[in-house]
Chain A
Amino acid sequence: MYTQEVEATLEQYRNAVNNARSEEEMQGLYSQILGKNGWIRKLMGNIKNFEGDEKKEYGQVVNTLKEQLSALITQRQQELVEKSILDTEEQGTEVDLAMPVEFREKGMMHPLSIIEQSIIKTFTGLGFTVVTGPEMETDYYNFQALNIPEDHPARDMQDTFWLSNGRLLRTHTSPCQVRAMEKLGAPLRIIAPGRVFRNETSDASHENTFHQLEGLVIDENISIANLIYVMKTLLSEVFEKNVKVRLRPGYFPFVEPGFELDLNCLICDGAGCQTCKQSGWIELVPCGMVHRNVLTMGGIDPDKYSGFAFGLGLSRLVMMKYNIPDVRMINRGDIRELEPFKTII
């Protein structure tokens, strides 16, 4: 059955398949060998020249040939696919992919908004509710409800912008304390970020318009030790490291006792440098235990509840965090100065 001619053709095809260089070439060979008009079909066509057992034997031989060649072709095809993948990877793309791309034009939130938002996130994570209050405030909420009656010397500490309608521009975010007590009652955990105003001459470190964030916690058995803990936790979050803080006496009529909270200088780690005026500490957060009179004004029973309040200088924090040398940058509106904040989302 295996005529010499068949042997030779088989050998020829085997070589052709093994030497094929491309998938196209393989497709051609497939048609020639296994296709509709291919060699195997032709061989099979010759079966009519046989009879009986020979016919059966011939059929088996051709089928074996078909299987062998089919396996060979499949194997070679896989090899070629593999080779072509390797070739493609080796060759790479036509373009130099290291070339820069231009990002779509991005804008920026004001650095103050960025910090404000990040602090809101920290506090809401700790279970604080965000409240807001008006910038055009009444004497009552800005002073009287905060235990600062008329002619109290503490009013001099806060040069006030007065308005023709009898109101004033709030000098601190503390009016939000009593507003929140009235609205939400005790227990209470709130923060109140906002813009505040002082009628003073501005320079690199003083502004007549700046931003604060008020915090207030009222509950049963709130202690000075709790205040220290919360402030330390908060500032560690803000500065993304474990900070050291200290309390010292401070005076604000709406707290008793009142404290100044100092932060261990982050520049020199407390060794003393220009930023901390060689003291190793930076005065950062005025705070204190809420005054009984203020609780009473807010409709909260001072015998049942106690609490603490603090005022974080947001503008100051923005300056510290982003190395802004002049506070007036914040309200200046010069896009060139805001451009570095493009990358922060």
Chain B
Amino acid sequence: MLLSLNWLDKYVPLKDLDPNDVMHKLTLHTAEIEEVIEKGAELDQVLVAEIVEVNSMKPGYHFLTISTGNASHKVICTDTSLEAGDKVPYAPLNTVFGGKTTATKTIDTYTSEGFLLSEQEMDISTNESVVFHIDDVRAKPGMKITELYPFLKDTLLKLDNKSVTHRPDLWGIYGFARELSAIYKRELKPLDTELKLKTMVTPAPVITLEKNSGCNRYQGIIIKNIINAAAPLEIRTLLHYSGYATLNLIVDLANYVMVETGQPLHTFDYDQIGNVIIVDRAKEGVKVKTLDGETADVPANSVLIQNKDRQPIAVAGVIGGDESKIVSSTAAVLLESANFDATSIRTTANSMKRRTEASNRFEKSLTPALTDTGLKRFCTMLGRMQEQVEFSEITDVDVSNTKQPEISFKLDFARKFSGVELEHGTISDILNRLGFEHTYKNETYNVKVPWYRSPKDISTPPDLMEEIARIYGYDNIVPLAPAFKMAPVLPNTTSETEYHIRRVMSYVFGYVELRTYAWHDNRWLSQINYQPQNTVRLVNPRSVFHDQMKDTLVPALLELAEFNLRHHEKAGMYELSSIFKQTDVAVEKKSFAGLLFQKGGDLPNMFFSAKEAIGYTIKGLKNAEIEFRDGYEGEPRPWINKTSSVSVYVQNNFIGYISPLSARLGKKLFNDEPMVVFELDVDAIRDIQPVKLSYLAPPQFPSVKLEFNIVAAEKEKYNRVLQVVNGFSNPYIKRTQFKEFYRDEKRLPGQTSYLFMVEIGSDEKTLDSNEINQFKDQFIEHIKTEGLQLR
């Protein structure tokens, strides 16, 4: 909303104040003003000129001699309706106007020394593009136009509408005048609504509100004998500066009263609708041709204004119908000043995609008392402008049943809540300034909420505290440390697990943490042949390609690998984020996924490096042993290499997998460059049982480290060999450790040799050579029995 200072000044004197100070004070005490906009400053250069002589130049062009009092000028003009004696606005040569400097302009042999301006060019309305006729007896040639019409110069305060969502009383200029009067302690002038109406028109409107019509109050009046010419220049200028188009007196005046009071009005052409109004809910399938010429479907249950034949004539609170709209020839109207159910209006406006100035106000829950102000303000202004206008009686159907709340609170509450030792005098003064009548007895306030303040905004003591504190000034509240009782900070294992993973992966293993969006890109999914099952869908995605929530973080990482490979030879990347799934219930889990790429890298090395990173990360968190089992048996993932992946287990629970990128995707997207992918369940990592650290005494007697080269067929794999080694039980074994593997196609065709270190010893004695040899024999015997060989 744009707040005109000229307009505000009609009700609370502001002319002596710096507009920036007004902006600042409103921002600190009431609502955010984003900007101060000056209007009409350039018009100081525009002079009133009188046309002295009109000469025809060529078709469509006149060459005029004009007078600015003590000088005369020649101007070329395309408005051929001008005649000698007309007074017009004139922008002399070398004045800066609309960002341009006026210069001489020559057509044929005629030279123009400046320009005559239209309202549009002066930016005081959107009306017409013909030269503005100054039809005012006070106009003298040579006079500044701003001297004649001071209201052309204005200052606008740009309000952040969001900051008054809860303040229906601030959806009009007068509401801000009330605020400024309280802030600056200046007297508030009343709105002129006092016209004695000449009630000569009969009949008065006949208004019926059906049961649960969604209308709380409907006031109507019939007005006849209106001359619907252009509205006065000041009204048009104020509306234009405030961001409204201007049309004709009736429409402009209805808008003017809405902007001023906050009460939306609607005017029906009386000759089209007659005097009967029926308000009811719309049934299915109602269509209305709206006043902008379009035919709109009205959502069922919308509040509908109907004529005596129950034909829709307006979608209440949103937009009027085409048939009854006001045109320049309209002379009689039925004026509606009503109050509609906020939720209904909001729902209708949203589903019709017609957010209008009226619906914006109605959906804030305007007070039903405001209809009277709106109606009377319109009639008063119109009646003062045109004496011949005739009115009917006002018909008022009020089913609103609103009662302004009375709130009581103790002085002590105000002090505790604000943290300031407020004095009674201060509180009382602020309440008075804001129009809150109150009594004070036994340190208790009893406060009446004024009629114009919404009970939705003010109904409890904290609501009143806001009123008191904001006018007192938040800046005047001295910061005060809270007195907390000591209490332990509870751990958050999820957040701690995530932080641990990030720290180790990034700072120990050199991975880069990435963050991406929460949804898949379906185009990329089809590139990588991934068809996720049971994803959570977005009803209103940013685009049709982004309608599935991620059920795995890997695809986006693959896409980023493709991008980052253009700039990097190698990199490890990971993401820690939520994934989503829709089975019988909606599931959200934390996932940790990553990948490692290196152009021309050695795949086994890369794989083992990823394994080390993951193993170290998990072990470092809970001190639990990690087990890597061959293969992957989870849901199908096109990026997993079917033969070479490993599954990560801790305490017999599946935690995730590590896999080289599948050959198919490697070939298709990454030019066969080696890549390792992993995906782990953060919730499962978090839930690993921690293994306690515990003291272990150093051996009393020296131990012996024995090494065995165990040879197995390649198909046997490491885990089988490990199983065999671990399967040998002997009280002397302190620990076993895999050292390295060895392959040689000539000496060990089709086989792999695994070097294991077995450390043996006793807590009671030093083992002698017999005992050691005996152990060796038994161990070798065991290996052979299990079908493996020693080298």
Interface residues of chain A, those whose CB is within 8 Å of chain B, are 104-110, 112-113, 117, 120, 124, 127-132, 134-136, 150-151, 153-154, 157, 161-165, 167, 169, 184, 187, 189, 193, 195, 197, 199, 208-209, 217, 219, 221-226, 228-230, 232, 246-251, 253, 256-260, 289, 291-292, 306, 330-331, 333-336, 338, 345
The B559-579 residues at the A interface (CB cut-off 8 A) are: 560, 563-564, 567-568, 571-573, 577-578
A106 and B503 alpha carbons, distance in the complex (Å): 11
Q: Which residues of A contact B588 (CB under 8 A)?
A: 134-136
* Per-position binary interface string of chain B over residues 330-371, scored 1 when its CB falls under 8 Å from any chain A CB and 0 otherwise: 000000000000110011000000000000000110000000
Q: Are B469 and A257 neighbours in the complex by a CB distance under 8 Å? A: yes
The answer, among A226, A230, A257, A336, for a CB contact under 8 Å with B470, is: A257
Q: Are A107 and B474 neighbours in the complex by a CB distance under 8 Å? A: no
Q: Which residues of B contact A223 (CB under 8 A)?
A: 416-420, 480, 482
Q: Are B480 and A226 neighbours in the complex by a CB distance under 8 Å? A: yes
Q: Are B162 and A157 neighbours in the complex by a CB distance under 8 Å? A: yes
Q: Are A335 and B470 neighbours in the complex by a CB distance under 8 Å? A: no
The B638-673 residues at the A interface (CB cut-off 8 A) are: none
A299 and B495 alpha carbons, distance in the complex (Å): 26
Q: Are B538 and A334 neighbours in the complex by a CB distance under 8 Å? A: no
Q: Are B490 and A333 neighbours in the complex by a CB distance under 8 Å? A: no
A229 and B513 alpha carbons, distance in the complex (Å): 35
B189 contacts chain A at the CB level, 8 A cutoff: no
B31 contacts chain A at the CB level, 8 A cutoff: yes
B426 contacts chain A at the CB level, 8 A cutoff: no
The B379-423 residues at the A interface (CB cut-off 8 A) are: 416-420
Q: Which residues of B contact A163 (CB under 8 A)?
A: 536-539, 549, 586
- Contact status of A334 and B495, CB under 8 A, knowing A151-B347, A208-B542, A246-B475: no
B484 contacts chain A at the CB level, 8 A cutoff: yes
A187 and B470 alpha carbons, distance in the complex (Å): 27
- Can you show 16 pairs from A to B with CB atoms below 8 A apart? A107-B509, A124-B489, A157-B162, A162-B540, A219-B482, A223-B419, A223-B480, A223-B482, A228-B477, A229-B481, A246-B475, A250-B163, A256-B460, A257-B469, A333-B514, A333-B564
* Per-position binary interface string of chain B over residues 469-505, scored 1 when its CB falls under 8 Å from any chain A CB and 0 otherwise: 1100011011111101111011010110001001101
The answer, among A104, A162, A335, for a CB contact under 8 Å with B564, is: A335
B695 contacts chain A at the CB level, 8 A cutoff: no
B518 contacts chain A at the CB level, 8 A cutoff: yes
The answer, among B343, B502, B509, B538, for a CB contact under 8 Å with A113, is: B502
Q: Which residues of B contact A258 (CB under 8 A)?
A: 466
B326 CB, min distance to chain A CBs, angstroms:
29
Given A151-B343, A208-B542, list of 20 further CB < 8 A pairs? A106-B510, A154-B165, A161-B540, A163-B539, A164-B537, A165-B537, A167-B536, A219-B485, A222-B482, A223-B420, A224-B474, A225-B478, A248-B32, A249-B30, A249-B470, A253-B166, A331-B515, A331-B516, A336-B567, A338-B514
Q: Are A199 and B487 neighbours in the complex by a CB distance under 8 Å? A: no
A153 CB, min distance to chain B CBs, angstroms:
5
A107 and B501 alpha carbons, distance in the complex (Å): 13
Q: Which residues of A contact B556 (CB under 8 A)?
A: 333
A131 and B492 alpha carbons, distance in the complex (Å): 6
B756 contacts chain A at the CB level, 8 A cutoff: no
A156 and B469 alpha carbons, distance in the complex (Å): 28
Q: Which residues of B contact A257 (CB under 8 A)?
A: 462-463, 465-466, 469-470
Q: Which residues of A contact B347 (CB under 8 A)?
A: 151
The answer, among A106, A108, A124, A208, for a CB contact under 8 Å with B513, is: A108
A224 CB, min distance to chain B CBs, angstroms:
5
The answer, among A128, A226, A292, A334, for a CB contact under 8 Å with B481, is: A226
Most chain B beta-carbon contacts within 10 A, residue among A105, A193, A223, A333: A333
- Contact status of A165 and B462, CB under 8 A, knowing A130-B495, A157-B162: no
- Contact status of A232 and B506, CB under 8 A, knowing A108-B513, A124-B489, A195-B518: no
A308 CB, min distance to chain B CBs, angstroms:
9
Q: Which residues of A contact B621 (CB under 8 A)?
A: none
B29 contacts chain A at the CB level, 8 A cutoff: yes
Q: Which residues of B contact A164 (CB under 8 A)?
A: 536-539, 582
Q: Are B479 and A232 neighbours in the complex by a CB distance under 8 Å? A: yes
The answer, among A153, A246, A345, for a CB contact under 8 Å with B28, is: A246
The answer, among A109, A162, A247, A289, for a CB contact under 8 Å with B506, is: A109
The answer, among A107, A128, A225, A250, for a CB contact under 8 Å with B418, is: A225
B503 CB, min distance to chain A CBs, angstroms:
7
* Per-position binary interface string of chain B over residues 153-190, scored 1 when its CB falls under 8 Å from any chain A CB and 0 otherwise: 00000000011111100000000000000000000000
A256 and B470 alpha carbons, distance in the complex (Å): 12
A189 and B465 alpha carbons, distance in the complex (Å): 23
A339 CB, min distance to chain B CBs, angstroms:
8
A-B pairs, top 6 by smallest CB distance, nearest first, are: A225-B419, A223-B419, A257-B466, A247-B474, A229-B479, A225-B480
Q: Are B502 and A229 neighbours in the complex by a CB distance under 8 Å? A: no
